[in-house]
Structure 1
Amino acid sequence: MATSKITFIKDIDPVNSDFTIKVKVLKLWTLNSKFNENEKYSIEMILLDEQGSLIQANVFQNLFYKFEKSLREGSVYEFTTLSVAKHNPHPKSTIFSDLPNKITFIRETELKESLNFPKNVFGLSFVDFQKINSKVIPTQRSVDVIGVVVSRTTIIPSQKKDKQRIHLELKNLDGVLLKVTLWGHFANKVSDYLDTHNTDDCVVIIVQFAKINDYRGNIGVASYYDVTTVFINTDIDEIKQFREKLAKDNESSQLSGTISLIRTKHVSLNDDFLKNNEVKTIYKSKEPVQVEEFIIVGTIIGIRQDKPWCYQSCPDCHVKAVEIPDCNEDVKLSLLKFLSQGFFF
């Protein structure tokens, strides 16, 4: 591949595919097919240029043979001849870049590795805690946050390693608190650090590419699979600058290294299911007709062998699709009204 003039990410022209970018593969992961969970559908990437700009990129399955073995997270490449189009993510997808476009590798795309890239560029763009807490930022948009750890839980265990978690509270320079949940190996990383280091000094944490959580009105952020990056008291410019501002703050003395422990009550899945939900008989569950969460207790008296062990449902909201038999319009309307209440048998 001949040496070409490098185009920065913010200067990419979507109409022209004949350009060269020099970028670091900041994050790399795969998406599986929605039809076959064991089949890879695409390679997804977050690319970072020397100016700190980010853009999402992907390689579809038909070109795995050309790029899959060459691409490595953390490596720097020059890419030439790429397709650029407007990014139209699924409503449930997470967006990792402010740019409206996304790059797709095509058959004509070429790459070569490069070694000359600044080490202190991470593409961090911090979001104010108050904007997250006040629900100003869409939950679809990933965020970068930085703050001092003021409280924590112990590791909340799970039989699956990626389901264990730790809850933290971070405080920013304005004194605003933010709830943070870290899952899997991120939880272990932070817990191990806090358990093995002297925290008399403030522990500053950055969570990059965090997912906003709005669970029953409680706002916070959480790690997002392996896409997230967590920095703990590392020697990078962003943490140095945060510490310098913290030292100059008149209230910085209140932000001591003391981290309070949040007490948690570990509840087993069995207890959570049985103790936190009302139990009803089948008869009592029919009235009144309203949306509720409860457990139905009954005895299985037989299993129909003529029905499959699955049913059709909407892939987005997971509501069961029910075929209405031939009947008059009044019956259909009554049945639809009944089904809209969430009663499916």
Structure 2
Amino acid sequence: MDKNRVTFLNNLDWRSKLFTIKVNVLRLWIPVNPKREGETLGIEMVVMDEQGTRMQATVSSKFMKKHEILLNEHECYYIYKSQLSVIMSNLKHFEKEHAISLNFDTSVKKCENFYGSVYCIRLVSFESIKAGEVDVKYRLDEWSEPEVTKIKMGKDSKYMNMQLLDEEGIKLKCTLWDEYCDQMFGYIQSHKEEVDVVLLVQFGSFYKYKGKIMLSNAFQITRLFINPDIEEIRSFRTKFVEKICKTSSNGQKSIGSSGNISLADDFLFKHPFSNFLDITLLDKPCELIVHGLIMSVDDKDDWYYVGCDQCNRKVETTFVIEEAEDGAEEPK
């Protein structure tokens, strides 16, 4: 293995397997055969080189014993004598036509000097989502309890629906299945008091349902970042609080509250804050919210008065004392 002659992923030649690549394993999972319980189908990976190019990589089940003990997610490796194989499955996650296949002749050595992104997060706009991009961050806005349904294989599958909100106020429907449903719902259950929970979905899947774009996890390749302390999340949260919450309360509530927005939250979300000067300029009836600071409280007089039911004017109360039949005095 010649570590000094590394080939970048964009320069690989499918006709040769005498190349050395230097990659970071972004994702690693072991799929199982849905038709045969307990049977594994090999190892699936997403790898990235120092130029930021990403590709699918596979280890077939017959070579798992040789390689699975060496390969781990979030670690970097030199890989020598792998080969490129055409992706036959419809589940092609990147534009590349080939995947890197590790076979019996392949050598894998751990690398300690990889210069590149740890997670390779690529954030995109809503317009880019329509074009097929898959990395996007959103604030969790609403969610529903997990439900169970039957899938094509006849097995039960758990899912939960959510509504996500980005920093521009654009909403997106999202459905998470099985272990992703468990991961998200588990976080919600253990962080019920949190507000502004940011969900970053990496390697997600977008599809159209009844003319609307929906987001879902893409089998086991998807990764959820739920409020981690990383730069992408911190930056988004700061922008969200400054931009969205500056113009409306946005129905701020903890993620422990699922379901529809309350009437109060709906009112606060739809009506921007106004100041006292805005009130003096009003020329027609309207609903608004005044955001002000209480400087002092006058507690000397009551804030209400007794009024007449007929004319709605203020009335003064008096006590009339009449003599009862037994000689006692009764106030009225």
Give the SS at the match of 2:203.
strand
Aligned residue in 2 for 1:52: 52
Stretches of structure 2 lacking an aligned partner (at least 5 in a row): 261-332
Greater mean alpha carbon deviation, residues 29-38 or residues 46-55: 29-38
Distance 1:32 1:235, change over 3 A: closer
Give the Å deviation of 1:222: 1.4
Aligned equivalents of 1:14, 1:8: Cα separation in 2: 13
Aligned residue in 2 for 1:145: 136
Aligned residue in 2 for 1:126: 123
Task: Report if aligned partners of 1:203, 1:257 keep a CA contact under 8 Å in 2.
Answer: no
Aligned residue in 2 for 1:111: 108
Distance 1:200 1:68, change over 3 A: closer
Alignment-mate amino acid for residue 21 of structure 1: I
Q: Which of 214, 229, 235 does residue 235 from structure 1 map onto?
A: 229
Larger Cα-atom Rg: 2
Aligned equivalents of 1:256, 1:71: Cα separation in 2: 45
Task: Report if aligned partners of 1:165, 1:184 keep a CA contact under 8 Å in 2.
Answer: yes
Give the Å deviation of 1:58: 1.4
Aligned residue in 1 for 2:17: 17
Task: Report if aligned partners of 2:167, 2:244 keep a CA contact under 8 Å in 1.
Answer: no
Aligned equivalents of 2:122, 2:237: Cα separation in 1: 17
Q: Deviations over 1:119-143 (max 9, x none)?
A: 95212223433454x5x43xxxx72
Aligned residue in 2 for 1:97: 94
Aligned residue in 2 for 1:202: 196
Aligned equivalents of 1:123, 1:35: Cα separation in 2: 34
Aligned equivalents of 1:197, 1:109: Cα separation in 2: 45
Aligned residue in 2 for 1:267: none
Map 1:1-345 to 2 at 5 A: 1-31=1-31, 39-85=39-85, 87-90=86-89, 93-117=90-114, 121-132=118-129, 136-137=131-132, 143-156=134-147, 163-197=157-191, 201-249=195-243, 252-254=246-248, 255=250, 257-258=252-253, 261-262=258-259
Task: Report if aligned partners of 1:246, 1:252 keep a CA contact under 8 Å in 2.
Answer: no
Give the Å deviation of 1:178: 0.8
Provide TM-score, normalisation by structure 2.
0.63
Alignment-mate amino acid for residue 7 of structure 1: T
Task: Report if aligned partners of 2:25, 2:72 keep a CA contact under 8 Å in 1.
Answer: yes
Distance 1:252 1:120, change over 3 A: farther
Aligned equivalents of 2:5, 2:20: Cα separation in 1: 7
Aligned residue in 2 for 1:268: none
Aligned equivalents of 1:60, 1:157: Cα separation in 2: 32
- Indicate the percent of aligned positions where both proteins have the same amino acid: 29
Give the SS at the match of 1:26.
strand
Give the Å deviation of 1:12: 3.3
Aligned equivalents of 1:119, 1:253: Cα separation in 2: 38
Greater mean alpha carbon deviation, residues 8-17 or residues 197-206: 8-17
Give the SS at the match of 1:249.
helix
Aligned equivalents of 1:69, 1:166: Cα separation in 2: 34
Give the SS at the match of 1:95.
coil
Give the SS at the match of 1:188.
helix
Task: Report if aligned partners of 1:120, 1:236 keep a CA contact under 8 Å in 2.
Answer: no
Aligned equivalents of 1:50, 1:127: Cα separation in 2: 21
- CA-atom RMSD, angstroms? 3.4
Provide TM-score, normalisation by structure 1.
0.61
Give the Å deviation of 1:151: 1.0
Alignment-mate amino acid for residue 94 of structure 1: L
Give the SS at the match of 1:23.
strand
Stretches of structure 1 lacking an aligned partner (at least 5 in a row): 264-345
Task: Report if aligned partners of 1:24, 1:47 keep a CA contact under 8 Å in 2.
Answer: yes
Q: What is the total number of aligned residue pairs between the two structures?
A: 254
Aligned equivalents of 1:243, 1:35: Cα separation in 2: 43
Distance 1:257 1:117, change over 3 A: farther
Aligned equivalents of 2:33, 2:50: Cα separation in 1: 33
Give the Å deviation of 1:230: 0.6
Q: Deviations over 1:50-102 (max 9, x none)?
A: 443311011234433432443333332210122125x4443xx3222233432
Distance 1:237 1:197, change over 3 A: same
Give the Å deviation of 1:21: 1.9
Q: Deviations over 1:137-167 (max 9, x none)?
A: 3xxxx72221111111123357999822221
